[in-house]
A and B are shown apart, each in its own frame.
Chain A
Amino acid sequence: MSFSLHIQRFETDTLFYRQSHVLRYLGYGEGQADSTVLSQLQSAYAELCRYAEPRAVYSRLPLSCPEADTLLIGSLEWHSRDLCRCLSDCREVLVLAATLGAGVDRLIARTSVLSPATAVITDALASDIIECVCDRLCQTFSEDGMRLRPRYSPGYGDLPLSVQGELLSLLSAPTRIGLSVNHASMMTPTKSVSAIVGILPS
């Protein structure tokens, strides 16, 4: 069986965020943001783009679900009724991981010393940007004609966060895109997403 990893880098001028989502992370309701915070959002975004090095690695792999709560992907064996349900009818999956890179974590650490307000805004922005990077990636697969199920990440439903390490290791994410997990299954750099996406038969 052959298995190939695909690595994608994203130009920083293609990064975008959803203003309404970022404002929600920051606690604002509809129409409550003033011009000050909006302009801070703009300048924090410009700064983030200087530090971000967005990369993704993904692979298309066959899936089998021998039991209602068991799935096999490559050499991985996971137990999750919720994910099995989400992947019902799928015989293949995309396994993917994406990160904004170490520079963004450094920027946030640095900004925390200089201005906590800016740090909070930068942190919220970065969280949304990495989601958008993943959405964009999945969208390109859809445009290539794949019919996809929604992204599903470790920690959702009954899929434990602890499988995160296996997922990243399958993708060689530590060497390919510099993304790894620590002993508590947290991804480092922190502004990162890992996920399984079911591919529906065409």
Chain B
Amino acid sequence: MSIRKLLQTKRLYFDGGTGTLLQARGLQPGELPETWNLSHPDVITELHLSYLEAGANILCANTFGAYRHKFGDEILRLIPAAIANAKAAVARCSDPRDRFVALDLGPCGQLLEPLGSLGFEDAVRLFAESVRIGAEAGADLILVETMNDAYETKAAVLAAKENCDLPVFVTCAYDESGKLMTGADPRAMVALLEGLRVDALGINCSVGPLQMKDTVAELLRYASVPVIVNPNAGLPRTENGKTVFDVTPEMFADHMAELAHMGACVLGGCCGTTPEHIALTVSRTAAIPYAYPEKKHDTLVSSYTHAVSIGDAPIIIGERINPTGKKRFKEALRTGDVGYILGEGLAEEEAGAHILDVNVGLPDIDEEQMLTRVVKELQAVTALPLQIDTVSPAAMAHALRIYNGKPLINSVNGTEESMNAILPLAAKYGGVLIVLTIGEEGIPATAEGRAAIARTVMERAAQYGIPKKDIVVDPLAMTVSADTAAATVTLQAVRLIKQELGLATSLGISNISFGLPMRDTVTAIFYAMALREGLDCAILNPHSAEVMKAYYAYRALCNMDESCADYIAYATSLPAVAQAPTGTPQPAQKTNTEELPPLVRAIIKGLRREAYELAKQALTDTEPMTLIQSAIIPALNTVGNGFESKTVFLPQLLMSAEAAKSAFDAINEAMPSADTTQNTDRRIVLATVKGDIHDIGKNIVKVLLENYGYSVIDLGRDVEPMAVCEAVRAHNVRLVGLSALMTTTVPAMQTTIDLLRTHCPNTRVMVGGAVLTQSYADMIGADRYAKDAMQAVRYAEEVFE
């Protein structure tokens, strides 16, 4: 019987630990256990056999770290040998029925981007090869285990799904606090893994069975597939030169029985557990009634840390990452200024958004490439789940693939074309669909018509195995000034879809007030009305005070805000914003800045908000260029000179830079055509070289160069040498800045410079970073060594003079 079928009716058991047992048989510290598949096949088979006789149904083949980057071509022999050793044990076992051999996939040992250097697709490829070899060798299932990062787990599961048809089981290593090393909680992992359609999921390693109880309860609460529990035998300690674990087989079995009562379906062990632990667990849980888990109905979207549940309290989806009607945003997309977009996203998060909508579509840019880049970079700085918003199926496919978590998918509609393009993507990668109620004939005029489209999409989605809980319907808020019945139809549709179909709903509410005066008031009241009809999510501008007031007031009125605490906290934060205290008064500085013009003083002192307000005021009677020449530049020079003469230090230099930037922001807002910061003749490419992931120094240089009017093309960190050349050529750039922190990455800097000399002989190169010195810089042929950020600015001034 297949393992999937078997799990419908009975509890199954995994084997236990191998590491400690192999060490007892002579494995050296640091020696790779996988090599024993070939050097000591009998030992491995004996160990497997002892677990089978203890009652284990599933053997983990000895392939935990069997990947090409560790073993090279050797994996072609190691993995089949590992599967053969396990199968040999099954053949020798007294009762070979219902026994399975799992290809065991542990972590690959490198951290994925953006925290590490390993690219997502590189990780998928690494796992994929081992999956193909293991499936070919006759594995019965794939076990992805001991995962401590959500992104790596996704890469491994995708690799398994794309390279075999075997069942996929996944266990992660949650620690005492119930989280993975990179932050994901059990609910987020259930959302991610069920979206990817794994057959069973759970926890292994890290801690003993007792400490796992809360995490197991959380997994059971949200999972609709069987939950696996493979704990350690507690913690290791050395006793008389031997490693012993503190949870005895008896204690272990008692605790496992408790977890079985709670509903765990697959039980086994990890580090420190022995055949005795498993044997006792099997006998002590045999009589506990077994039940396959019930389907759960929570609508969950997730990031790499947490899940957001749709349907409990109103969810705010920030709408600001969208170029529609925004000149500055469009410009950022065209110039690849992702930093600006990240700033918009973080501002929405601080204003209270729970999820961020991400739309970077412009006719004249490569949307697929840009959407992927923005999603990746946003996920490096915010833990909020994202709503991927694009009309391009290709861009959607790529973004869903690399997204770390289970996103909202914005959108699918009731046309054949849309359903055929989007539903398969949702089925493969997981995600919660936003269904727009648009059919072949457009948007129905009635609420019933819109609900009918929602039903059509729901039924079609079911054919792809997409459950109701993963559908959120957007019955479309249309401009009320164009059709005064528009709002009432939409509100009726919200109620109908909720009550008749039992689906969650979402609306982009800002559109409703288009063309009217006092738009925010209309939008906010419409929002409150929609919430009353049962609206679950709204795509809105979290910087709109009227809308946010409606949100907080609604929650307080509907008994969703204990003691009205959130409402009060929000209300008390408001006057502070409205009256804009212009920075906290600072104690007198050593430099005498009292008699300077206020804006100059604000920049020197690094007062961000004050600099912004003062610049705004000054612009009422001063030309932008005059303001820049008479206040901003002199202030920057004062600080820059101070830094060079060591009376001003790095944090102050940067605070002044931030203040100057907000003064520039005020100028750009007042007159978008002034174009004071984006000087296309004064372009500089910055990059941290290949292999190097420390980018703080490069970021400092960027901030200062921008202050001085240079347009910086920031290629980020760990940048391929050729990518630097390509950027230089594409933008016709005269100066490149390269940064490296460690000796190991200086050769990559050299390679980059050599390439630049060949392909872009007229481009100058400045270098900096902790490890660099003048002699290093000379050795690798740089034009200039910049000891600090101000020296980089001075060199740029020389080059562009």
Contacts and interface: CB of A to CB of B under 8 A. Distances in A.
A64 interface: no
A88 interface: no
Interface string B11-33: 00000000000011000111100
Given A120-B654, A161-B743, A182-B111, A74 B346 contact: no
Given A109-B381, A184-B691, A175 B107 contact: yes
B380 interface: yes
B336 interface: no
Main secondary structure of the interface of B (DSSP, over half): loop
Contacts of B339: 113
A90 B650 CA distance: 43
Contacts of B31: 74-75
A108 B695 CA distance: 10
A189 B658 contact: no
Contacts of B296: none
A74 to B, nearest CB: 3
B693 A190 contact: yes
A180 interface: yes
Interface residues of B, number: 73
A75 B30 contact: yes
B692 A184 contact: yes
B241 interface: yes
Contact of A178 (B181, B235, B587, B743): B181
A181 B110 contact: yes
Interface stretch (B94-102, B129-137, B154-162, B696-704): B696-704
B182 A112 contact: no
Contact of A112 (B106, B235, B696, B744): B696
A75 B29 CA distance: 6
B146 interface: yes
Interface string A158-202: 000110001001100011011011111110111000000000000
B654 A184 contact: no
Interface stretch (B113-121, B253-261, B275-283, B622-630): B113-121
Contacts of A180: 109-111, 116
B703 A189 contact: no
B382 A27 contact: no
B649 A37 contact: yes
Contacts of B587: 34-36
Contacts of A75: 28-31
Interface string A17-37: 000000000111100111111
A29 B703 CA distance: 24
A40 B111 CA distance: 31
Contacts of B547: none
Contacts of A61: 29
B243 interface: yes
B579 interface: no
Contact of A106 (B116, B380, B589): B380
The DSSP consensus for interface residues of chain A is mixed
B17 to A, nearest CB: 13
Interface in B731-760: 741-745, 748
A124 to B, nearest CB: 9
Contact of A109 (B116, B148, B380): B380
Contacts of B238: 2, 4, 60
A74 B181 contact: no
Contacts of A109: 114, 380-381
Nearest to A168: B109
B449 interface: no
A103 B177 CA distance: 14
A116 B700 contact: yes
A7 B380 CA distance: 28
Nearest to B238: A4
A148 interface: no
B470 interface: no
B115 A105 contact: yes
Q: Which of B236, B657, B748 has the most CB of A within 10 A?
A: B236
A6 B243 CA distance: 11
B480 interface: no
A170 B742 contact: no
Contacts of A105: 115
A188 B741 CA distance: 14
Contacts of B797: none
A59 B181 CA distance: 20
A170 B30 contact: yes
A113 B342 contact: yes
A181 B703 CA distance: 29
A101 B149 CA distance: 12
Interface in A8-52: 9, 26-29, 32-37, 40
B586 A36 contact: yes
Contacts of A1: 23, 28-29
A189 B694 CA distance: 10
A186 B106 contact: no
Contact of A3 (B243, B695, B745, B748): B243
B691 A182 contact: yes
Contact of B115 (A34, A36, A102): A102
B30 A74 contact: yes
B182 A116 contact: no
Nearest to A36: B586
A6 B246 CA distance: 13
Given A109-B381, A112-B696, A2 B109 contact: no
B343 interface: yes
Given A102-B182, A120-B700, A178-B182, A113 B742 contact: no
A39 to B, nearest CB: 10
Nearest to B605: A36
B88 interface: no
Residue among A59, A102, A183 with most chain B CB within 10 A? A102
Contacts of B210: none
Given A37-B652, A169-B30, A182-B110, A6 B236 contact: yes
A157 to B, nearest CB: 12
A175 B242 contact: no
Contacts of B235: 7
Contact of B693 (A117, A177, A186): A186
A123 B700 CA distance: 12
Contacts of B114: 109
A5 B236 CA distance: 7
A175 B24 CA distance: 21
Contact of A175 (B23, B148, B182, B658): B148
A155 interface: yes
B183 interface: yes
Most buried by B among A76, A103, A113: A113
Contacts of B590: 34
A177 to B, nearest CB: 7
Nearest to A3: B29
Nearest to A181: B110
A30 B241 CA distance: 49
A130 to B, nearest CB: 14
B111 A2 contact: no
Contacts of A60: 238
Interface of A: 1-7, 9, 26-29, 32-37, 40, 53, 59-61, 73-76, 101-103, 105-106, 108-110, 112-117, 119-121, 123, 155, 161-162, 166, 169-170, 174-175, 177-178, 180-186, 188-190
20 contacts: A1-B28, A2-B238, A4-B243, A33-B649, A36-B655, A37-B651, A59-B29, A102-B115, A106-B380, A112-B381, A116-B654, A121-B651, A155-B742, A178-B111, A180-B116, A182-B117, A182-B118, A182-B691, A182-B693, A190-B693
Interface of B: 23-24, 28-31, 106-107, 109-111, 114-118, 146, 148-149, 173, 175-177, 181-183, 205, 235-238, 241-243, 339, 342-343, 346, 380-383, 586-587, 589-590, 606, 646, 649-652, 654-655, 657-658, 690-696, 699-700, 703, 718, 741-745, 748
Q: Which 8 A-B pairs have the closest CB atoms?
A: A178-B181, A184-B691, A74-B29, A75-B30, A182-B117, A117-B654, A188-B116, A3-B29
